[in-house]
Structure 1
């Protein structure tokens, strides 16, 4: 905790730039509610931002239906952050970001035996980001502090418009424990049976991103999970691509990660394309984790996003997930879902609903299928 506090003090010092503010405003226009922003005379901008993402979740385990009431949507958690950006005359930019999340009743942790699933405490693990970066268009970007490793997000490229409620991490809208065919609740959770093997996530790290060349960016990082007091070495490399070919948008990511503590090599990749005139999109993701148990999965999504209403676009999607050996050797986990998201642009909000089927099998027992349904709202500012 001490080391994090020292880094936080450095970051807060960067935010408190020695300059007089010239403007501070919060506004709502045709593009939605804008973040609270202060602009300073030394070309520094400080911005406060965040989001609230809540929904009502139910889970039918094949025998009983459990309602968990209002939960935090783990697809995109409730969070608050502050950034500072300073542009220097030399062409360099200094950026810092502190962000934390608070979701004591999360959609991926509740279960039939613990309907509340709540942890109302606040500690260092609530910090998503506490980082500083220096960048230039010619040299690239150097990161230091708690934040995304190079491979973070490489399994989550998605242009469908329904990522707030449905994407490759299908267990974020979970529901709880699978029920065995004889009616007994097992100890197999939806969050344990499914994973999108998305690299190394956010850690205390050093990272470098190259400049973008023809849509390609390369990244590399080294870090440790200091928020969970784990000093095992973590390192990874990744590549991303994004391009707009007139009527077609394309985005892709691929990453390799090494976790020395788990003796694991993780490969993850995703691809998404959007035909802008029709709003049709197609997304693929997959990954493999070579450790004690070699887990792998594939994911596919078909989406449609159109302007049916003046308030904002409406997005629909169907997806399918197929995983092998995710929770244990010999385990098979499949899932498919329908999702709909209605954007309300003037309020930076998304209203959503989803239904997701979970089907799980392993060498221990036979299990009933599970069905989770969730409806909710995300508001960003």
Structure 2
């Protein structure tokens, strides 16, 4: 059997050969006509290959670099003013770079690491009617960084900054392929003030801080339903998938914990996914104290999520329902309901076309900018759009619209009605 010689070895052989030949004298070199640059081209080629190859820390750990770039153009109308902004997608789908490394310890057992660097060129959390660019535009965040051990038999355990078990649990039930364009968090209008019928601003926002649906989570995460919504220092366990079932559990942050169960299976012509998740924390640094809270206040917060997805695979018709229920010491409990339905169509060779419609209702979790509870208030949005896959470019493009409405007690608005907020958004996400 012939032994394969590596490129670098070949270069050494060629260099040695050239040196030996040069020792024979000028006449022999001329006869061989090897030339004075016999190895220069080869060394240049080796250098070129090294320069275009992703380097690894060592020869035992593989490295994969992935991620995506996402941007949107948003036109909005708050009932008084209209404008057009160029914005990102919020932290769930912000442009990012991901690094994954792994090494095999033994058959069926690997060790590895994961890092996700998020690029916020324009953070949706702080733009509003008066600011088209966020205060922390062009910021870079280390969103996740952890190591893991993974067994094919026993599952995976990870330690470091990562998503808790309850993060995006209900969201993960959505298999429609439309989540980049639309899901149950109102990032687009996050810090926009809610207008009153006389054109003035109320003391509420559509999603930011404690205002409006942002109060649903009592500070433990983001806006409506995005509770337990941030990566934190955690120990997390992901079980192997058995007969469609998987369990995820996590603990960390003095103290935050969560358990989530997933079930994904095909029943005849139907694709089914179900999610049940329960999380809790007593960390005063995670939950915003209610108005008037004393020094002995404890958050003692609990968040329940239930969700289901059903798709008729031959026709592509699908539906998704999500529910989040928050209880926290000193606050009123509240609920968020979200439904989305659509169809997957093969209308073009570009890829799947995904029209959809959506609806959300958030009740009894509305707080003003000062943290005061608006008893009986609720928020609703409805909308729809179409997402087009472009398979050849690993890309999605979309066009969508939403209308947000707020029902506030007249005692909090000076007897005035609130104006709706309308947005039309065109965006794209390309993966690498």
Same fold, TM-score > 0.5, yes or no: yes
Out of 327, 330, 337, which is 2:376 matched to? 330
Q: Who is 1:29 aligned against?
A: none
Q: Who is 2:144 aligned against?
A: 129
Q: Who is 1:377 aligned against?
A: 428
Matches within 5 A, 1:103-252: 103-120=120-137, 122=139, 126-156=141-171, 157-169=173-185, 171-174=186-189, 176-192=192-208, 193-194=212-213, 195-224=224-253, 232-252=254-274
Distance in 2 between residues matched to 1:240 and 1:134, nearest whole Å: 21
Distance in 2 between residues matched to 1:45 and 1:72, nearest whole Å: 31
Distance in 2 between residues matched to 1:304 and 1:186, nearest whole Å: 39
Deviations 1:104-150 (A, max 9, x none): 31334311022222413646xx1111011111122111110011111
Structure 1 window deviating more from structure 2 (141-150 vs 204-213): it is 204-213
Is the 8 Å Cα contact of residues 165 and 173 (structure 1) preserved in structure 2?
Answer: no
Deviations 1:153-198 (A, max 9, x none): 21202122211111122x0232622111111023422223331144
Out of 285, 297, 313, which is 1:276 matched to? 313
Is the 8 Å Cα contact of residues 37 and 47 (structure 1) preserved in structure 2?
Answer: no
Alignment of 1:293 with 2:315, yes or no, is no
2:106 is paired with a residue of what secondary structure?
coil
Distance in 1 between residues matched to 2:125 and 2:345, nearest whole Å: 30
1:173 is paired with a residue of what secondary structure?
helix
Instruction: Mark the runs of 5 or more structure 2 residues left unpaired by the alignment.
Output: 1-48, 214-223, 288-298, 368-374
Give the drift of 1:64: 1.4
Distance change in 2, residues 1:313/1:189 (3 Å): same
Q: Who is 1:19 aligned against?
A: none
Is the 8 Å Cα contact of residues 119 and 138 (structure 2) preserved in structure 1?
Answer: no
Deviations 1:73-124 (A, max 9, x none): 125111111110222324211121111111131334311022222413646x
Deviations 1:188-234 (A, max 9, x none): 2222333114435321100112222211111211122xxxxxxx421
Structure 1 window deviating more from structure 2 (101-110 vs 356-365): it is 101-110
Higher percent of residues as helix = 2
Out of 236, 257, 260, which is 2:279 matched to? 257
1:322 is paired with a residue of what secondary structure?
strand
Deviations 1:228-251 (A, max 9, x none): xxxx42111111111123422111
Instruction: Mark the runs of 5 or more structure 1 residues left unpaired by the alignment.
Output: 1-22, 27-35, 225-231
TM-score, normalized by length of structure 2? Answer: 0.74
Deviations 1:245-266 (A, max 9, x none): 3422111221111121232111
Higher percent of residues as strand = 1
Q: How many residues align?
A: 338
Is the 8 Å Cα contact of residues 148 and 158 (structure 2) preserved in structure 1?
Answer: yes
Distance in 2 between residues matched to 1:25 and 1:331, nearest whole Å: 60
Is the 8 Å Cα contact of residues 120 and 138 (structure 2) preserved in structure 1?
Answer: no
2:94 is paired with a residue of what secondary structure?
coil
Q: Who is 2:22 aligned against?
A: none
Distance in 2 between residues matched to 1:159 and 1:149, nearest whole Å: 21
Alignment of 1:91 with 2:115, yes or no, is no
Distance in 1 between residues matched to 2:385 and 2:325, nearest whole Å: 26
Distance in 1 between residues matched to 2:273 and 2:56, nearest whole Å: 33
Distance change in 2, residues 1:304/1:107 (3 Å): farther
Distance change in 2, residues 1:282/1:39 (3 Å): farther
Give the drift of 1:294: 1.2
Deviations 1:272-325 (A, max 9, x none): 122121111100001111011212111111111111110111101101101112
Distance change in 2, residues 1:359/1:376 (3 Å): same
Distance in 1 between residues matched to 2:138 and 2:393, nearest whole Å: 30
Out of 336, 341, 344, which is 1:305 matched to? 344
Alignment of 1:347 with 2:364, yes or no, is no
TM-score, normalized by length of structure 1? Answer: 0.83
